[in-house]
Amino acid sequence: MKHFLAHDNDKAAEIASKFINSTHRHVFLTGKAGTGKTTFLRDISRRTHKNTIIAAPTGIAAINAEGVTLHSLFQLPFGAFIPSDQYQCDHAPNFQINTPRSLHQQLKMHAAKRNLLKKLELLIIDEVSMLRADLLDAIDSVLRRVRRRRNLLFGGVQILFIGDLMQLPPVVKDAEWQVLQKYYQTMFFFGAQALQEQKPLYIELTKIYRQTDNTFISILNHLRDNQMTSQDVDTLNRYYKPGFSPAHGDGYVYLTTHNYKADRINKNELQKLAGREFTFNAEIEGTFDAHIYPVDPALVLKKNAQVMFIKNDPSGEGQFFNGKIGKVEALKDDEIKVAFPDGSPSVWVEKYTWENKRFTVNKKTNEIEDKVVGTFVHFPLKLAWAITVHKSQGLTFEKAIIDVSQAFAAGQVYVAFSRLTTLSGLVLTSPFRFKNMPQAPAVQEFAGLKKDAGRLGEQFLSSSTAYLCEEIIQTFDFSTLSMEFDYHLRTYTKDAIRSEKQKNFNWAKTLYSDLKSVKTVGDKFIKQLHQILKTASGIDYQHLLERVRAAKDYFEPILNEFSKKIAGQVIELKTQKKGVKQYIKELQELDRMVYGQLQKIYKSISLIEAFICDTELTKASVNKPPQKDAAIAVGVSKKKAKKKDKPPTKVLTLQMFQSGKTIKEIAERRSLAVSTIQGHLAGWIEQGKIDIKQLMPQSEIDEIMEVFKKLDTLHLTPVKKLLKNKYDYDKLKFVAAFLMHRQSHDKTE
């Protein structure tokens, strides 16, 4: 495989993507405010070929990341975690302490959750600055146990940590620290004992999209690194305006460090306005706990109230963004119109649907996917005369009155100032006096792990080779599958007269015996693989590919025969009315494991091909075995299965487009927004299922593509501006998708 080099730090995202998709290495992806960390998260979770779950330390962070909380995912109790069962305390603490033993004793994890964690390959943790080291060690303990791989860090799961350690730190009470300091040098996530032998790769995004003024960027960098100069302080203090009171509708937001201050300002300003109050209530369905509500469920507004958008415009037309300030222009019983101080067109705001997700294993594809268990539908607005620094994280403001006189951490001050796009929008409530709030020494030491692009390239070559070898060997190791069949066989423990399941003991015993024979062949093939992979002159990847393809041809019919036997047993059991429901579920789970083994074999071929072609394997390009007839797999009639098995919404859009329907016709037929259909089609362009020339002429594609390349970005707004709004966002979106498709595939062409 050819060695890759990133020629500058702007290639950090590409390098991070390569390490995630092509190695087992844990990665810490960081970057200053506004460098595109969230954009990277969305992109990698959509493209990666690995079974992925997104999680975060807090409920709000999880909702914003479109993931789940770490506590709910791993069923962790609240309190501190001590990474030792030998803990002794002279005085009983006033908080809960968990140990590996107590954690496992309390762990009542149902089969579906265990299966989910067994399938997990990549865990993405967002807002990692707030992740405590002891929580990460608790996660390591759970994963090792549930996945039955106790000698592997995180049970063999790769972790992508995303966040900025200069922003909001982990919260640890003094009483907790008195206990935890015996086990940890720092409470930042990298202080976890699980990460001491091998720290995650430190990769930093450096290109800032929020600010463009070099003077302001320099001040923010100095503030972040605790290197403020007297000139920096003087520059900031030019914006100190005692007694400043913004004119009505100017769009200033007051940033403060305490909730009570923000609440008081918003309440007082709303009361000052004349006219009728309108109350808009959220529509909440399914499971959506109050502690993760993205906004107050009751939004109280008056005409001329200052509001802030808390989501980007979902249409892609850029009418508003997360943090944009506006003024209520008109109100109706279920409608809100917002005007903007910058003169851009007013907007009738549409309600937004936040989804509370759970991750589950799709029984048909055997892959991890998210499932919506609850929705919170509301206007993406909140009163915005004032907001706390904590709640401003991730937002962008053009104008702000900043009060950080009571800031208790350097991260708070940095977050506050870095929300602004320019210095010209800054107003200080008091003179800025730089307090020496140095970075924690542990953070500075951890930052020293950052490698230049060349060093990362060297590490990638060895790490990707090791990953390929490990994956190929594991693919043909049938030990786990054999162990699961053995465990299943040992559950036949009842009297055959009283148990329908027990009557099938001999059938299960024969099946297990047949699998042991398959494992024996697999073990012999692994010995051959070791010889190929440890050749002194270097690995002959073409020969490796030929041998793995031959192995696929050998094992595939055998594994399919196992599936047929299990399916036949399920169909037979379905004719019985009582005492077989749980038994059928157990057999179906065994069948999914067999299919999972076949999926690994197909994927191993894709990995070798990608390695030979020096390209990155993605979800769209991975080989998959033919899906079995779902009706046979679950033991129901084909007629009934077809009735229930509707294609996913994006697939329906593709089918209708390929049948000759226009975007407008598809939107009308499906009662969806045109922008939604355009988003579906952009996704299919990226996967190579649709030719972009079916949607727009080559001349337009070339013109737009040239600007994307000139700006070296895939963000739509700067391209639209440079083209002087000549093209709508939908066409820009199509070209961006086409470029992403080319980046993934042009190396193999």
Task: Tell me the DSSP string of 402-425.
Answer: E--TT--SHHHHHHHHHTBS-GGG
pLDDT reported for residue 642 = 45
400 forms beta bridges with 253, 426
DSSP state for residue 202 in the 8-state scheme:
E
Rounded Cα gap, residues 726 and 699, in angstroms: 13
Q: Identify which of 102-116, 134-148, 418-432 has the greatest average pLDDT.
A: 134-148
Q: Which one is predicted more confidently, 345 or 321?
A: 345
User: What is the DSSP pairing of strand 68-69 with strand 253-256?
Assistant: unpaired
**In 10 A of CB 290, how many CB atoms?**
8
Whole-structure pTM value: 0.73
749 falls in which pLDDT band (50, 70, 90)?
Answer: very low
Query: What pLDDT score was predicted for residue 640?
Result: 46
Please tell me the predicted confidence (pLDDT) of residue 8.
41
Q: Tell me which of 380 and 637 has the higher pLDDT.
A: 380
Distances (CA, A) of 215 to 211, 382, 396: 10, 32, 18
> Long-range contacts for 235-244 (Cβ within 8 Å, ≥24 apart)?
235/423, 236/426, 236/428, 236/432, 237/428, 237/431, 237/432, 239/423, 239/426, 239/427, 239/428, 240/428, 240/429, 240/430, 240/431, 240/432, 241/427, 241/428, 244/401, 244/427, 244/429
Mean pLDDT throughout 81-102?
80
Query: CB–CB of 288/344 below 8 Å?
Result: no
Distance CA 382, CA 386 (A): 10
Name the least confident of 132-136, 521-525, 670-674.
670-674
Rounded CA-CA distance 280/300 in Å is: 6
Q: What is the pLDDT of residue 496?
A: 65
Of the listed ranges 43-52, 336-345, 365-374, 506-515, the one predicted with least confidence: 365-374
633 in Cβ contact with 590 (< 8 Å): no
Residue 376's nearest CA partner among 318, 479, 291 is 291
DSSP notation for 41-72: HHHHHHH-SS-EEEEESSHHHHHHTTSEEHHH
Q: Is the pLDDT of residue 637 over 70?
A: no
Phi-psi region of 494 (alpha: psi -120 to 50; beta: other; left: phi over 0): beta
- C-beta of residue 297 within 8 angstroms of C-beta of residue 382: no
Average pLDDT, the chain: 84
In the chain, helix, strand, coil percent, each to 5? 50, 15, 40
Model pLDDT, residue 747: 44
Write the CA distances from 655 to 175, 646, 665, integer angstroms.
60, 13, 13
Residue 103 · residue 76 · CB < 8 Å: yes
Mean pLDDT calculated for residue range 658-684: 81
**pLDDT at residue 262 tops 80:** yes
Assess whether pLDDT exceeds 90 at residue 599: yes
Q: For the ranges 165-179, 503-517, 665-679, which has the lowest average pLDDT?
A: 665-679
54 pLDDT band, cuts 50/70/90, is: very high
Phi, psi of 402 (to 5 degrees): -110, 130
pLDDT greater than 80 at residue 107: yes
What are 136's two structure tokens? 């990460």
- In this structure, are residues 492 and 505 in contact, taking their beta carbons and an 8 Å threshold? yes
Q: What are phi and psi of 691, to 5 degrees?
A: -80, 120
Task: Give mean pLDDT, residues 311-316.
Answer: 76
The model's confidence at residue 632, banded by pLDDT at 50, 70 and 90, is very low
Q: How many CB atoms lie within 10 A of CB 685?
A: 23
Res. 38 pLDDT band, cuts 50 70 90: confident
pLDDT, tens digit, 9 for 90 and up, residues 491-521:
888 776 677 888 888 999 999 999 999 999 9
List residues bridging with 307 in a β-sheet: 326, 383
For residue 126, with 0-12 CB atoms within 10 Å meaning exposed, 13-18 middle and 19 or more buried, which class applies?
buried
* CA 456 – CA 295 distance, rounded (Å): 41
User: Which of these, 147, 25, 162, 55, lies nearest to 463 by C-alpha position?
Assistant: 25
Residue 327: what pLDDT? Answer: 92
Three-state secondary-structure class, residue 253: strand
Lowest mean pLDDT among 107-121, 203-217, 303-317, 543-557: 203-217
Does 537 score more than 80 pLDDT?
no
Amino acid at 325: I
Average pLDDT, stretch 68-86?
89
Q: How confident is the model at residue 290 (pLDDT cuts 50, 70, 90)?
A: confident
Among candidate residues 101, 69, 131, 70, the one with its CA nearest the CA of residue 288 = 69
* Helix intervals (H) in 107-201: 111-119, 133-146, 174-180
pLDDT at 163 over 70: yes
User: Residue 85 corresponds to which tokens in the numbers above?
Assistant: 């069962």
Tell the residue number behind the tokens 């991890």, with chain if given.
Answer: 368
Nearest one of 625, 489, 607, 643 to 563, comparing CA atoms? 625
- 380-437 pLDDT per residue, tens: 999 989 988 877 777 788 889 998 776 656 667 888 888 888 898 899 988 887 765 5
Q: How big is the chain, counted in residues?
A: 749
458 or 610: whose pLDDT is higher? 610
The residue among 47 and 413 whose pLDDT is bigger is: 47
Q: Tally the C-alpha atoms within 13 A of residue 52's C-alpha that lie toward its C-beta.
A: 21
CA distance 659 to 574: 39
| pLDDT for the residue numbered 418 | 85
- For the chain, give the percent of residues with pLDDT over 70: 90
DSSP label at 648? P
| Whole-number Å distance between alpha carbons of 737 and 732 | 9
**pLDDT for res 536:** 65
- Nearest to 420, CA basis, from 395, 443, 444: 395
Residue 598 makes CB contacts below 8 A (sequence gap 6+) with: 555, 556, 559, 560, 625
Report the greatest alpha carbon distance in the chain. Answer: 89
Whether the pLDDT of residue 460 is over 80: the answer is: yes
